[in-house]
Structure 1
């Protein structure tokens, strides 16, 4: 089923794009991440330009987060006060990210920057996840459980002024900490088309010290609104959002989110982390390889 993408300016197999959306939705349901950190590089591998892939993936991540937020809300797993602070920071970060995106685009370096950021980000995150998953698996084989890290906020967080009570998260900290965290995630969302959950979830656990019961739902709540703002910003500034591409991804992600939620209830967490870490590292290595080889088509511009 060939579909023409007007902004990307190429024809693609619609079923393949929907399948990528299903993968993103499954990741959203399993781990509380938007899944854009895998969708964007996979779209790039498929032949879509990094600029269009990043802008369109942010649109699709919004849809993938909706059903997840609703599911966690019914279980009381969303800290709306914390989520609101993160959203404010994320929207401010998206505005700054838009300026950076336009600057890099005018310099002709946006595609290279997106690829380099993905190699660094996926390589780091994948390595940490792989080590954690292997530690858990080996500990279980020895007949012992891995010691869970104590979830207390970072000393720098404790030093910030103007503390608020975040009751559902069990915290009494300054709102500046989640505001700054949301700001950084907003910049990444704008530049890379990611929801930011893959960074936000561990940061909420080990920097803010949030209760694990509300981390995934609050992360999805933040991703939902920040990617909405990012999509609008891309549509108004970079003009790189391909609605047909985003729509196909959205169809798949909504279905995939339901599958991911069901899988999460049955599968062992350490095995899931191992599989995800392996996928992330393989994609990082593939992108690194792509940066080091000559492109298939080389263009030169000369002044006459």
Structure 2
């Protein structure tokens, strides 16, 4: 066992359990800092996310916090988009430098978007609570299905290229599409959608040779107890101080990767 990786998994699992912030936005930059190849970091993190979030699906399902119809519409957009992105990467056969540059740019964009979603979450939630916004949402009808598919396509491409976006960005999109549905149900629904998406994308990267199985095992050894500990401490750390700090960190890393 490599205890540096185990401790990284423990730290990320703890933060995810404490704040609900997606593990990909924290784990992938850490792996890059360790010197892991960007393609390998993304592929390994995708399977890492699929396994860790699988446990979350069981918890939310028991609590009745999953709307499988919404998850299905998201998957109808994200899974084909993920498969198409993987097919392009497979047929393109880019050289290592080009592939790494593409992944770094995608990762940077995803990190900045995630930081904005975390930072302005409360304002976005306030927007959904606006009476006029709620009435407009109730009258939206079929447009909501198009919004779910479009959100799924965006997440499918973004997650497959960078391993980031299924958590914060996906949840915020659902808040805007479904302001009348309880927050816990939207969070559980997005986790249920993220599991098949990250699993398909992760297996696709495995087929491209972008998985470090030894690294994955070490990360899981730390993250599973970390998530358990963090979940039991939820609410004890002021959200008003923790979320801006996380958003700033993610934005700085994202901008560094983009430029």
Alignment TM class, shorter chain as reference: 0.7 to 0.9
Partner of 2:99: 110
Superimposed CA distance per residue, residues 158-201 of structure 1 (whole angstroms, 9 cap, x where no aligned partner): 6663xxxxxxxxxxx64333222122211122111236212101
Superimposed CA distance per residue, residues 59-109 of structure 1 (whole angstroms, 9 cap, x where no aligned partner): 100122022222222322221221222223221121012023335652551
Partner of 2:240: 270
CA RMSD of aligned residues (A): 3.0
Partner of 1:239: 209
The Cα of 1:221 is off from its aligned counterpart by: 0.8
TM-score normalised by L of structure 2: 0.84
Structure number with the bigger relative contact order (C-alpha 8 A, sep ≥ 6) is: 2
Greater share of residues in strand? 1
Partner of 1:258: 228
Change (3 A) 1:232 1:189: same
Partner of 2:184: 213
Does 2:41 align with 1:70?
no
> Matches of residues 1-304 of structure 1 in structure 2 within 5 Å?
14-102=2-90, 105-106=93-94, 108-127=97-116, 129-130=118-119, 148-151=126-129, 152=133, 161=142, 174-194=144-164, 196-209=166-179, 210-236=181-207, 238-288=208-258, 291=259
Aligned counterparts of 1:203 and 1:153: Cα–Cα separation in 2: 15
What stretches of structure 2 of length at least 5 have no aligned partner? none
The Cα of 1:157 is off from its aligned counterpart by: 10
Moved over 4 A (4+): 151-160
Change (3 A) 1:120 1:184: closer
The Cα of 1:276 is off from its aligned counterpart by: 1.6
Aligned counterparts of 1:265 and 1:91: Cα–Cα separation in 2: 34
Q: Is the 8 A contact 2:107 2:164 kept in 1?
A: no
> How many residue pairs were aligned?
254
Larger deviation, residues 118-127 vs 269-278: 118-127
Q: Is the 8 A contact 2:77 2:150 kept in 1?
A: yes
Q: Is the 8 A contact 2:49 2:195 kept in 1?
A: yes
What stretches of structure 1 of length at least 5 have no aligned partner? 2-13, 136-145, 162-172, 292-304
Change (3 A) 1:227 1:269: same
TM-score normalised by L of structure 1: 0.73
The Cα of 1:131 is off from its aligned counterpart by: 5.7
The Cα of 1:156 is off from its aligned counterpart by: 9.5
Greater share of residues in helix? 2
The Cα of 1:153 is off from its aligned counterpart by: 7.0
Change (3 A) 1:193 1:125: closer
Superimposed CA distance per residue, residues 258-284 of structure 1 (whole angstroms, 9 cap, x where no aligned partner): 123122243332223123213212322
Superimposed CA distance per residue, residues 103-146 of structure 1 (whole angstroms, 9 cap, x where no aligned partner): 5652551111111222233234324534668x8xxxxxxxxxx9
Structure having the higher Rg:
1
